[in-house]
Structure 1
Amino acid sequence: MLNWLGIKPSYSRPRVSDDNAFAEALFKTAKYRPEYPKRGFADLEEARRWAADFVHWYNHEHRHSGIHYVTPAERHSGRDRAVLEARKAVYTLAMARCPSRWNGRGIGNRDRHEQVTLNPERDAVFSTAPTEVMERHSA
């Protein structure tokens, strides 16, 4: 796609899904877990056990901001719908009980995103790119 658009690929750009930054961010999350061993792992099996536990925590317990603070497991199974609706009801009730606390901002967007992407602003650019490229080449 990049070549087709006349863009030279680079693998050192921020917010790009195939960039090393995503791996580094995940590694930082792993290293800052309280149970991460300060002196390393005793052997490969210990490292594998720790990694399996980390992956389970990351997918089943850790709430992700990009999907409105539900877990990936809740999102993939569809259970996030009930969680988000219940959360929205709590916020709506809290705002009704004490509207001055909300400073006119309302409860914000508590709805489920039907589509989740890593770079939504970039996706919008790419969705219009073929038309623009075609127009540029036909002029």
Structure 2
Amino acid sequence: MTPAPERRQLIGWIEEAVAAGARKAPACTEVGISLRTLQRWTAEGAPQEDRRPGAQRPEPQNKLAEEEQQTILDVCNRPEFASKPPGQIVPTLADRGEYIASESSFYRTLKDADQLHHRGRSKSKKKRKAPATFVAEAPNQVWTWDITYCVPGAQGEYGLLKGATSLSGILARRFRMKQPTDPTHCEGGESERQ
């Protein structure tokens, strides 16, 4: 959404470029808008304020009534369904020959009533911290150790490849690897450990 003062400024720059001999399409591309946007802005004369935020959005005709939403909440809060998610409640009701609303309507209604939390006997998900990150501002500041099991051509043989690569190698995805045929031929393999 571009505010009206910024629209006026962009239109002024484009008109200035066109007066100097440029075409409208390249001038619009240069300021970051399409030619169609310029045409829409200048169709009514002076550029208007964006009307999307204040637009009237009528409620859908098929929206659930308050009674229907309350029925969904009553069903979800019954003791037999209190620990089940809507994905299990709706099929159970369908097996009994009852249809109240779709599964997504159940989810939407529970969310509006602030009841869409973990349901069931399993443990709820724990929020986990993102792993620590390191920022390299110069070469050779961040190094990592990579242990990779390589699958060679022969079936059943696995080799262990160990190597330290710099962050630049990781980002560039350029690894120099030797594909071993058995663990004794790897650098850092069995022969070096003994």
Q: TM-score, length-normalised on structure 2?
A: 0.17
Q: Which has the higher strand share?
A: 2
Where relative contact order (Cα < 8 A, 6+ residues apart) is larger, the structure is 1
Larger radius of gyration: 2
Q: Which has the higher helix share?
A: 1
